[in-house]
Amino acid sequence: MRASEVAIATSQLPESIPADRREQAAQGKLGKWLEEVVLLSQPHVNQERHGGKTIEQIRAELSAKTGENIVIRRFARFAIGQS
């Protein structure tokens, strides 16, 4: 699946990018996209309270503090401004 996503990202790059840099640029583009869509990589919506930490950082801190293995099983996704 990752190879197909890299192929899509490569096809979306402008032709001005040299051939030897296209793979690296596609990997960067894919990494940026994954940061936006993967829950654990996203910053918490209440950034003032959590200091801009990601969901994974908050989960890890809570796990260390309580000594329990904390797993996110469910979550709700809210979209603002979309119909």
Question: What is d(CA 77, CA 42) in angstroms, rounded to the nearest whole number?
Answer: 12
Which tokens belong to 9? 């990202």
Residue 9 and residue 31 in one domain: yes
Give the tens place of pLDDT for each residue, 25-73: 998 888 888 888 899 999 888 888 999 899 999 999 999 999 999 999 9
Residue 3 in this model has a pLDDT that exceeds 80: yes
Question: What is d(CA 77, CA 83) in angstroms, rounded to the nearest whole number?
Answer: 14
Residue 1 in this model has a pLDDT that exceeds 80: no
């809570």: which residue's tokens? 62
Number of domains present in the structure of the chain: 2
Residue 46 and residue 82 in one domain: yes
Output the CA torsion 13→17→23→25 (10° steps): -70
**Which structural domain range is residue 17 located in?**
2-37
